[in-house]
């Protein structure tokens, strides 16, 4: 279910959010949605590596690229490409 909400933001806050959204090449509405979505994570960030991995698993980050079968080789290839680009 989706709900449409209209906000009357102070101009300073709107400018700040717009700038951040532009930096990420996102529409303002999508950026605000992401900020709100990740708010619980930002208020209580993982304190250990295990908590971070657990968060990544629950968020679908881990295993999000089934096309990468060998992560170390993939990282080496990306590094080589970055080192040789002009």
Q: 3-state SS of the chain: helix, strand, coil percent to 5?
A: 65, 0, 35
Angle 59-60-62 from CA coordinates, rounded to 5°: 115
What is the value of pTM for the model shown? 0.51
> What pLDDT does residue 50 have?
94
> What pLDDT does residue 80 have?
94
> What pLDDT does residue 1 have?
74
Is the pLDDT assigned to residue 41 strictly greater than 80?
A: no
What is the distance between the alpha carbons of residues 28 and 21, in angstroms, rounded to a whole number? 6
Is the pLDDT assigned to residue 86 strictly greater than 80?
A: no
Is the pLDDT assigned to residue 25 strictly greater than 80?
A: yes
> What pLDDT does residue 70 have?
92
> What pLDDT does residue 79 have?
95
List Cβ neighbours of 57 (8 Å cut-off, separation of 6 or more): 63
Assign residue 19 a region (left: φ > 0; alpha: ψ between -120 and 50; beta: otherwise): alpha
For the purposes of burial, counting CB atoms within 10 Å of the CB of 20, is it exposed (0-12), middle (13-18) or buried (19 or more)?
middle
């Amino acid at each position: 279910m989706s709900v449409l909400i209209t906000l009357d933001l102070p101009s300073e806050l709107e400018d700040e959010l717009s700038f951040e959204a532009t930096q990420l090449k996102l529409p303002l509405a999508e950026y605000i949605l992401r900020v709100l979505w990740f708010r619980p994570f930002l208020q209580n960030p993982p304190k250990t590596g295990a908590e971070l991995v657990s968060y990544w698993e629950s968020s679908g980050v881990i295993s999000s690229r089934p096309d990468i079968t060998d992560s170390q080789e993939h990282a080496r290839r990306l590094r080589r490409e970055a080192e040789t680009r002009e």
